Structure 1
Amino acid sequence: MLDAAARKLIDPPLNALGRSIAGQGISANQVTLAGLILGLVAALLIAVGATGWALIPLLASRLADGLDGAVARASARTDFGGYLDIACDFLFYGVIPLAFVLNNPDANGAAGAFLLTSFYFNGTSFLGYAILAEKAQITTEARGVKSLYFTGGLLEGTETIVFFVLLCLFPGLFPALAWIFGALCFITAISRILLARRIFAPTSDEAGT
């Protein structure tokens, strides 16, 4: 919900930094992988109970996630780069809840399973919509120039990052926050499916031909 507004604020400095990084000969894929490594470090720290320290690599990971696109725009955008980016993003979004479950399976297990299920469902609705949008040649740059079509929703990347920060600051609230955020993810996915039905379902005239 907040991604489009956030992009207007962060894109200018990210693009400037991306041009500088590209000028050093660093590729967008290298930045993507560096961001993933930082995210995995954050997950490891969470799993061992150092949730406060995990904020540093977690936020650095999301900075790298924004920078890889800026580097690509300053050098060369590739389909594989977009594919790698989304694959690493999904791994990051899955491993952080997993880390909280590993840290305290008894308290966080059920809520973590529900949260990961909601992420799985929401991610499927997102990628499925992107495939249909590509087939229909629908494009948008409201959330920046992307290799995949990014449709909006109640919860997007910005909200998820804020959610992860809150979990790191208040790890004891993981069960309650996970149930709430997971429910909102389900609402987001269902609303996206309803949008896809409205946009991509054949009209009565088309269905009859």
Structure 2
Amino acid sequence: MFDGILRHLIDPPLDATGRALTRRGISADQATLAGLACGLACAAAVAAGHDWAALGLLCLSRLLDGLDGALARASAPTDRGGFLDITCDFIFYGAVPLAFALRDPAANALPVAVLLFAFYVNGASFLAFAVMAAKRGLTTTRRGAKSLYFTAGLAEGAETIACFAAMMLWPDWFPALAYGFTALTMVTAASRMILAWTTFAERD
């Protein structure tokens, strides 16, 4: 929901940093993989109960996730880089909830299962829309320059990171936060399905 607004704020400093790092030989793929490593370390810290360390790694991981796009724009975006970026994002988004289940299975296993189901539905609708949009030559820059067509919704990247941060700050509230974010995610998926139904029917 807030990704489009935030892009206008964070893209200028990220792009400047990306150009500087490109001149030093840092590639977008390196930033993507470093971001994934930090994201998996964040999940490991969550599972071990080191919440402040997890929060710091969360911030670092998402900073690197933003930098990989800036690095790509400063050099030459590639399909391989776009594929790697979205795949690593999905790995990260699945790893953090899973870590909470490993941390306290009795309290968190069911909320994690419900949340991951919502992520699965949302991810499927997101990727299916992107495939159909590419097939029809549709493009958008409302979420910045992306390898895929990004549709808007209540639960986007910024909201997901904010929810993960809240889970790390208040781990005892994890079930309530997970169920609440499940609802937002399912609304996002449903709205995208409706958008796809109308958009692609018109073009058919």
Aligned to 1:6: 6
Q: TM-score if structure 2 supplies the norm length?
A: 0.98
Q: TM-score if structure 1 supplies the norm length?
A: 0.96
Q: Which runs of 5+ in 1 are unaligned?
A: none
Task: Give 1:126-165 correspondences, 5 Å limit.
Answer: 126-165=126-165
Secondary structure (helix, strand or coil) at the match of 1:10 reads: helix
Task: Give 1:10-159 correspondences, 5 Å limit.
Answer: 10-159=10-159
Shift of 1:86: 0.1
User: What fraction of aligned residue pairs are identical, expressed as a percent?
Assistant: 56
The amino acid that maps onto 2:43 is A
Shift of 1:52: 1.7
Shift of 1:127: 0.5
Secondary structure (helix, strand or coil) at the match of 1:201 reads: helix
The amino acid that maps onto 1:133 is A
Give distance in 1, aligned partners of 2:63 and 2:190.
29
Cα distance per residue 1:97-149 (max 9 Å; x no partner): 00011000000010000000000110000000000110111111111101111
Cα distance per residue 1:24-82 (max 9 Å; x no partner): 11110000000000000000000011112111111100000000010011011100100
Aligned to 1:183: 183
Cα distance per residue 1:170-193 (max 9 Å; x no partner): 000000110110111111101100
Secondary structure (helix, strand or coil) at the match of 2:26 reads: coil
Report the count of equivalent residues. 204
Shift of 1:202: 4.6
The amino acid that maps onto 1:14 is L
Q: Between Structure 1 and Structure 2, whose CA radius of gyration is higher?
A: 1
The amino acid that maps onto 2:122 is N
> Where has structure 1 moved over 4 Å in runs of 4 or more?
none
